Amino acid sequence: MRLIISILEAFESLSANKLRSALTVLGVVIGVAAVISMLSIGKGAQAAITSQIESIGTNLIYVSPGSTRSNGVMSASGSAGTLTMDDAKSLESLPNVVAVAPEANGRAQLAYMGNNLNTRLVGVTHAYATVRGLSLTAGTFITESNQISHASVIVLGSSVAETLFGSTDAAVGKSVKVNGLPFRVIGVLASKGSTGFMNQDDQVFVPLSTAQTRLVGSSNFRGALVISQINVKAADTSAVDEVVNAITATIRARHNTIAGSDDFTVSSQQDSIDTATSVTDTLSLFLGGIAGISLAVGGIGIMNIMLTTVSERTREIGLRKAIGARRRDILTQFLIESTVLSLLGGVLGVAVGWAIASLMGQVQLSGTTITPQVSLDSVLMATLFSMAIGLFFGIYPASRAARLLPVEALRHE
């Protein structure tokens, strides 16, 4: 009952200076809203990137040239081609391997009727669509006969088709210039959006043999044509670790290397997800820390108003002590007032932060809409932290009020 009375007295005291109390609450609102919106946007970005990576397939394995040192830096061998077509063929017979798709990467300038753009060009075999889970909105993908005949055919990403032709429907059958050479469009991929690292719709595909002989070029390593990367699809997610170990052992045997001196790197899709999660977690923590500074500033505002309140109510404090109020009663009263301010600001800040996050969720970044995720733990954390701020910054003013001597307080003008 005494606590309820103290809370009612706190509201009565704060309502006596409505504007000052409102401005103090506003400082906490801004801090809490910043924390909520930044954390929710960070979680939304993490979910969007993870979803895009998983859409490619969680059982996908990459083999890249060069090795990664323990400090995460690519060794010098990574700048040279160390993977070949023979390496890719040697992986096809491994247990739990569904398909193997080598690729050669480069950049290309595409032009059609005055429209042109520079985009990522990938030389692939017919297995690439199966391995990477690609689907088409029109036409067909690269076939084995295209690869054998070094055909001048091309499959466009959806954003490339829209840039060149205005729509994805009008592209198939048309001829485009690729680095000045004519290529016939045989297909357009369905949109997949951005992974956060690369826009999957802003790329084109040609037969690997064509890319190596006419577009990106190729060199020889150990007597075979060099490729940029090998994509391997495992039978299922549970077999990924087994396949990774088998790939590593196979290529080590072919390249005559040992652990620690490999000239290649094997990574799974889970590694990509872990990296993306680590980056977004770090970014969310950084943004949350910056937002927390504004919350601390709001706490300083609470201390300021409580010190002013103690000064203005010195005679009242003396009178209450003179008629029997204990030191802890005064301490509790002023702590409750500071807590009410911070808690009110916290509740309003959660609502404002939620609204800000929803508005920012309407903005598209690199073709991807990030849906902010306001989780219960972030709401509780922000609210409890705002209460803690109120208690922390209210202790000194409350202690100062509680230490006042009744006689001295009653003499105060």
pLDDT-above-70 percentage for the chain: 80
3-state helix, strand, coil in the chain (%, to 5): 55, 20, 25
At 185 the three-state DSSP class reads strand
What is the token pair recorded at 35? 């924390």
For residue range 130-141, what is the model confidence (pLDDT) as tens digits? 888 888 999 999
**pLDDT at residue 368 above 60?**
no
For residue range 59-83, what is the model confidence (pLDDT) as tens digits? 888 898 876 544 444 443 444 578 8
The β-bridge partners of 221 are 224
The stretch 397-408 carries a mean pLDDT of 69
Residue with the bigger pLDDT between 403 and 82: it is 82
Give me the phi and psi of 185, to 5 degrees please. -75, 120
Question: What is the pLDDT at residue 52?
Answer: 64
Question: What is the pLDDT at residue 362?
Answer: 62
Min mean pLDDT across 3-12, 144-153, 339-348 is at 3-12
Question: What is the pLDDT at residue 72?
Answer: 44
CA-nearest of 65, 142, 40 to 370 is 40
**Sign of the dihedral through C-alpha 139, 142, 144, 145:** positive
Q: What angle do CA 285, 287, 288 make, to 5 degrees?
A: 60
Question: What is the pLDDT at residue 78?
Answer: 41
For the chain, domain boundaries: 2-53+274-411, 83-262
E-assigned strands of 235-363?
264-268
pLDDT-above-90 percentage for the chain: 25
Question: What is the pLDDT at residue 409?
Answer: 54
Residue with the bigger pLDDT between 115 and 410: it is 115
Question: What is the pLDDT at residue 183?
Answer: 96
The stretch 293-309 carries a mean pLDDT of 76
Min mean pLDDT across 115-129, 229-243, 258-272, 301-315 is at 301-315
Helix, strand counts (H, E) of the chain: 13, 15
In the predicted model, what is the mean pLDDT of the chain? 79
**pLDDT at residue 154 above 90?**
yes
The stretch 83-110 carries a mean pLDDT of 91
